[in-house]
Each structure stands twice: as C-alpha cells, then as structure tokens.
Amino acid sequence: MTYCVGIRVDAGLVFTSDSRTNAGVDAASMHSKMRFYGVPGERQFVLCWAGNLATTQGVVAQIERDMRDQAETSLLSVTNMGEAAEYIGALSLQEQAKNTGGGPAFQATFLIGGEIKGGQCRCYMVYAEGNYIESSVQTPFLQVGEFKYGKPILDRVLAMDTPLDQAAICSLVSMDATMRSNLTVGPPIEMYVYDAGSLQPGRYKRFEEDDGYLWDVKRAWNTRVKEAFARMPGIEWSSKDAGQQPPST
C-alpha cells in the first residue's frame, strides 16, 4: 500500500510519500515513490504516485527518457502545469495498456506539482483514467493511496495561508496517522518542499524509520493531542439523560 499527499499553499508545495511496496506483511519491500525535476529559473516539478509498480516505474522511466531524448512532449516542453498533468495521464494510460491490455490491477494514480515560468505554482492529481483534478483554495491538498486515515488532520489544519514548514509538519502527522493504522504504509518517508516563485529546486528530506525528528514529531503530537483533550469542554449530564430509550427506528 501507499500514501502520498501533495499540498499547495500560497507559499509553495509540500509533497510527502511513504516507501512501502507490495506489502503483504511478509513481503514488504521499499521503493521511493517520489521524483523531482527542473531547470533552474525556468521550471520545477515534483511527482508522487500510488498503484501498480510496473506501471508507475514505466511512467517514470518514460518521463526521464522523454527529457533526455528531447522528445516533442516532455516535462521540458510543456508550457503549463495542466499540460504536464495531461502528459502524465497519457503516459500512464499507455503503460497500463502495454503488455497487459490494461485493467484495474494495472492502474496507478499520480500527484504532480510544480511551476513553469510565467505561470503559477500548482498541484494536480492524475487519475488512473488519465484525467486529472487540481487542488483548490478550499481544499489545498490532494492525496493518493490509503488516504482516509490521514485526511482529517489536513482538513483541520491546512489553509492557503499556512506557512510551508507548518504544512510540512502537518503532512508528517498525516503520514504518521496512516502508518499507525495501516501497517503496509511505511518508512522511509520522503518530503519535498518547494518555495513558490523561486523556480529553484526545493528542499528534500528522507526520514528513516529511526529518524530522531520523525520520532520527535510523533511524540510531540501524541502529547499535544492528549493535552488538548484534557482541556475540552466537558459533557453536561442531567438527570433526564439516565435510563432513556432511543426513539424507534
């Protein structure tokens, strides 16, 4: 299983992904699910993915070949982020169909974020069908893979004016919630943070299972949540609350 989140706030992008693949509990192996590419001063991209490993590796390899071979369409030639998403979608469909004819078992979803000179910093999710959606002001994040456990904290915390470092910490807490509930999502955790408007490569971190900072975040969050609970408004019970029956179905 996989969990990746792409956040786009005013200040830029945060992409965070786990590295567990093909994880029956006995056959857990690790693969990075993140890449970033760019031409300083001109364009920067970051990618994450979930789904069939052959499909995703095929897409990534083709993206890199297209750039190397200066193909007519590549991340070096697209003129806006929507075109980049469209390109990834087309590659994904092509890889899904290759050898296998396609079908649910070969599907994959991608997150692509980035910025091209003259445009804005953006974040898209590309569905297995090749179509795509963009993050919004109301929901400044997109997720692929095992997304439900980690969604509530993103919902509560993220807004367009959230500072990048806080968005980054939020993505780690979201990842931690997911790893705790689903053993097939696991470290190392990769994180890429891009400053909007810079058009320079972002900052990248890889947190191993025993990473001190990752443990600090985990511990601090657990402590804070318990503290927060101790200060929640108490329930006021009245005598009429005892021994009632709920209304009939």
Residue 86: how many CA atoms within 13 Å on its side-chain side? Answer: 8
Query: Minimal CA–CA distance to 57: which of 33, 86, 87, 22?
Result: 33
Question: Does 35 participate in binding its own copies (rule CB under 8 A)?
Answer: yes
Please name the residues in contact with 161: beta carbons below 8 A apart, sequence gap of 6 or more. Answer: 9, 10
Select from 23, 60, 75, 85 the one that contacts its own copies (CB under 8 A): 60
Q: In what order do the strands lie in the sheet with 122-126?
A: 34-39, 43-51, 108-116, 122-126, 132-134
What's the closest the beta carbon of residue 116 comes to its own copies, in angstroms? 18
Select from 129, 165, 208, 209 the one that contacts its own copies (CB under 8 A): 165
Binding mask 134-153 for its own copies (x = CB under 8 A): --------------xxxxxx
Choice between 21 and 74, CB closer to its own copies: 21
What's the closest the beta carbon of residue 64 comes to its own copies, in angstroms? 10
Strand 122-126 relative to strand 108-116, pairing: antiparallel
The rounded distance, in Å, linking the Cα atoms of 55 and 46 is: 18
Choice between 86 and 176, CB closer to its own copies: 176
Choice between 117 and 180, CB closer to its own copies: 180
Q: Which two tokens stand for residue 249?
A: 């179905």
What's the closest the beta carbon of residue 172 comes to its own copies, in angstroms? 8
Distance of CA 122 to the CA centre of its chain: 14
The rounded distance, in Å, linking the Cα atoms of 61 and 244 is: 64
Q: Which two tokens stand for residue 200?
A: 């320079």
The rounded distance, in Å, linking the Cα atoms of 56 and 41 is: 28
Question: Does 183 participate in binding its own copies (rule CB under 8 A)?
Answer: no
Question: Does 161 participate in binding its own copies (rule CB under 8 A)?
Answer: no
Select from 42, 103, 203, 209 the one that contacts its own copies (CB under 8 A): 203
| Interacting residues toward its own copies by CB under 8 A | 31-32, 34-36, 57, 60, 148-153, 155-157, 165-166, 168-170, 173, 177, 180-181, 190, 200-206, 213, 216-217, 220-222, 224-237, 241-249
